[in-house]
Amino acid sequence: MTDGFSYVTLIGDVIHPGNLNVISEASKRGEVIVGLLTDKAIAERERPPFLDFQQRETIIKNIVGVSKVVPQHDWCGEDNLRKFKPKYVIHGDDWIHNNLSPVREKTIKIMSEWGGEVIDIPYTQGINSSVIMTARREFGTTPELRLKMLRRLIDSKPLIRIMEVHSGISGLIVEHAEIEKEDGLHYFDGMWSSSLTDSTSKGKPDIEAVDLTTRLQDLTNVLECTTKPIIYDGDTGGKLEHFVFTVRTLERNGISAVIIEDKMGLKRNSLYGTSVQQTLAPVEDFCAKIQAGKRAQLTKDFMIIARLESLIAGHSVDEALERARAYVEAGADGIMIHSKEKSGMDIKEFCQRFRKEFERIPIVLVPTTYNQFREKEFQEWGANIIIYANHMLRASYPAMVKVANSILENERSLEADELCMPIKEILNLIPYYE
């Protein structure tokens, strides 16, 4: 144990007076080493940081009083504590009563092994956590930062939760939705721009005739008021030459990934009905499209994900795996496997067999039909990304029908009030910049 040596844990995404106060108190006791939480460690309990580890490290190293910065891979920092054996751990006293209290208890136990001390300093008053969260979100409003976020999430979280959006207001709901649970904060990591819900929200059929420019005009409404990464539903990707243009355009706008499906012919939603026959694209043609898209992109961060329609078309898991291997070889950054089988057993078999062959290629699932499974089960299968592909639109339609019928029935809107969100709450959702 080093005399007068203090240890402090920080996130470092937004530095506020409370952080500086902790460092100041620690420096009064000698040299200060900061355990800087990694993206993966942060994501265990709350939203991942907008600044990456290297950016946050640069900031913390330049704070007066900090002697050294080291990566911290969990909220307790057990490995670092045992390695450096500090005399003091300095922390704000808010962790006595909040969801970090088990971390505090564990830290006290570890420090007692060499006579170290945990010092809880008074929480700095006047720190508004909602203001801090707003500031953190503003870091992610550039196309470059948004584009990179999906890969960062895949590297830092065991499972990523994506929700469909089709308008600015649905984007804001997904941006802010969160629930505190025993294992930390639960929220949506990103958004799905669905061709189905985009066209349906306009009262039009889900066909591939809607061009990219039209789709992007509506997606811009989401981009302007949110910060989370977006995965774009690219249908089949169109002709090879068109797909090259699509990749460049999406990348330029800060979209993180496009998913394209390996079927041909007139666009018809895969879950439409059993009578719809899917025609799969020749493997070599779809691989050529993936390769052309990968050559077209300008950054290493953009992702092209291949969606397999084999199971929808009535083929075997073996056939789906054969196609998946070819698509990975062609450069696909991830594989999405789709099925309308309610048991989900074909999906489970595919995931488990694919994961044995490809340890690091992300698997994307859209459990619309086999929604009896929980996210932890999908994670056990080997899945990385879960997309809730149409639920925001499907929820809005029955709600609007109820309100419309209520007004017709009662010839006034009073009875509909209990079905409607107050105007003040709606206005509070909309960002206001002075």
Taking only the tens place, the pLDDT of each residue in 99-149 is 889 999 999 999 999 999 999 999 877 665 555 655 555 555 689 989 999
Global pTM reads 0.83
- What is the Cα–Cα distance from 73 to 75, expressed in whole angstroms? 7
Q: Which of 94, 120, 206, 218 is catalytic?
A: 206
DSSP-assigned letters across all residues of 155-203? HH-S-EEEEEE-SHHHHHHHHH-EEEETTEEEE--EEEE-HHHHHHHTT
pLDDT in tens, 68-77: 999 999 999 9
**Does 206 participate in catalysis according to the annotation?**
yes
pLDDT at residue 2, as a whole number: 46
Task: Tell whether the model's pLDDT for residue 321 goes beyond 70.
Answer: yes
CA terminus-to-terminus distance, the chain: 52
Question: Where do we find the tokens 């207001």?
Answer: 169
Q: What pLDDT digit, counting tens, does each position of 26-77 carry?
A: 999 999 999 999 999 998 888 888 888 999 999 999 999 999 999 999 999 9
Is 249 exposed, middle or buried, given 0-12, 13-18 or 19+ CB atoms closer than 10 A? middle
Mean pLDDT of 298-310: 96
Collect all residues with Cβ–Cβ distance below 8 Å to 308 and sequence separation of at least 6: 261, 262, 320, 323, 324, 327, 335, 336, 337, 338
Question: What local confidence, expressed as pLDDT, does residue 139 receive?
Answer: 53
